[in-house]
């Protein structure tokens, strides 16, 4: 029996509402093959559909996030196989989630692993983490947003420098380029990510969804258009019960009880 290459755990207590999803192929440094992508896609979709899950933490095992795409399998794929097997759909699912995702990165986040991290909302990296898009070194280019996201975040010149050489960058450089939000001591990325996810999970769910939706549009829209959407969304949220609860709790000097309504 082949063990699952992706597992999940729902946290409790102060971390209630957080689901941790772990990629577990330690023998391959968590490299993404199609079976792992399919399972990860299903687990992300299931978490997004569960009203009890308000934030997701995505991480690897064995001190590695994801070392890349499984090149042993990639070697045998024909162009049509990518269409039939939907090898890029996992990233589309991640982009469409309503639930916020925090990536806890230790060790390598290379190729598909770097693309996976950048597709998450927030990236927390251990101090020794390394990022990169080395596809050119094996006769490929990034195929799941690696180049495009880097151009958006780092600018065309710095993105091309990385993608045309396949060079790796450390966590500090990744933070400078807008890939990483925070750098923490090695071995603590998961704990820090869970703490952050728990703080997000405690916020009003509709407002969290709205913020992420506006932020996605702001990345790709003229500033004026993005601000118009932000203002309209702000006004619509005035009709939510959680808006009333949040203001009343502040006035009462108590912790709000958000219901997602």
Instruction: Give the whole-angstrom CA distance, residue 163 versus residue 19.
Output: 33
Catalytic pick from 135, 176, 195, 230?
A: 135
Q: SS3 of 143, please?
A: coil
Angle CA 106–27–73, to nearest 5: 105
Confirm if 243 and 210 have CB atoms less than 8 A apart.
Answer: no
Angle at 70 between CA 69 and CA 76, to 5 degrees: 115
Burial letters for 215-247: b for 16+ Cβ neighbours within 10 Å, e otherwise? eeeeeeeeeeebeebbeebeeeeeebebbebbe
DSSP state string for 227-243: HHHHHHHHHHGGGSHHH
CA atoms of 96 and 108, how far apart (whole Å): 25
Strand partners for 10 = 19
List alpha helices for 50-88, DSSP H: 71-74, 79-84
Kindly name the residue from 52, 98, 115, 245 that is annotated as catalytic: 115
**Helices H / strands E in the chain, number of each:** 12, 9
The answer to whether residue 245 is catalytic is no
- Residue with the two structure tokens 């309209």: 232
- The answer to whether residue 195 is catalytic is no
**Structural contact between residues 30 and 60, judged by C-beta atoms closer than 8 angstroms:** yes
- Catalytic positions are 115, 135
């Amino acid at each position: 029996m082949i063990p699952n290459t992706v597992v999940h755990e729902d946290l409790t207590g102060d971390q209630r509402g957080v689901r941790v999803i772990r990629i577990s192929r330690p023998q391959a440094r968590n490299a993404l093959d199609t079976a792992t992508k399919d399972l990860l896609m299903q687990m992300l979709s299931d978490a997004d559909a569960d009203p009890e899950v308000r934030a997701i933490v995505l991480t690897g095992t064995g001190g590695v996030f994801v070392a890349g795409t499984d090149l042993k399998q990639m070697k045998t794929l024909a162009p049509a196989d990518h269409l039939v097997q939907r090898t890029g759909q996992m990233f589309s699912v991640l982009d469409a989630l309503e639930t916020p995702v925090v990536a806890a990165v230790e060790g390598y986040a290379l190729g598909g692993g770097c693309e996976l991290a950048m597709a998450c909302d927030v990236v927390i990296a251990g101090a020794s983490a390394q990022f990169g898009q080395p596809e050119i070194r094996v006769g490929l280019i990034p195929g799941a947003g690696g180049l495009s996201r880097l151009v958006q975040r780092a600018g065309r010149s710095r993105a091309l420098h990385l993608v045309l050489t396949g060079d790796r960058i450390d966590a500090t450089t990744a933070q400078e380029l807008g890939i990483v939000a925070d750098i923490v001591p090695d071995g603590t990325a998961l704990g820090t990510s869970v703490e952050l996810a728990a703080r997000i999970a405690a916020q009003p769910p509709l407002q969290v969804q709205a913020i992420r939706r506006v932020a996605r549009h702001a990345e790709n829209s003229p500033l004026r258009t993005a601000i118009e959407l932000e203002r309209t969304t702000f006004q619509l949220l005035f009709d939510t019960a959680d808006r009333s609860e949040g203001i009343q709790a502040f006035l009462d000097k108590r912790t709000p009880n958000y219901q997602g309504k």
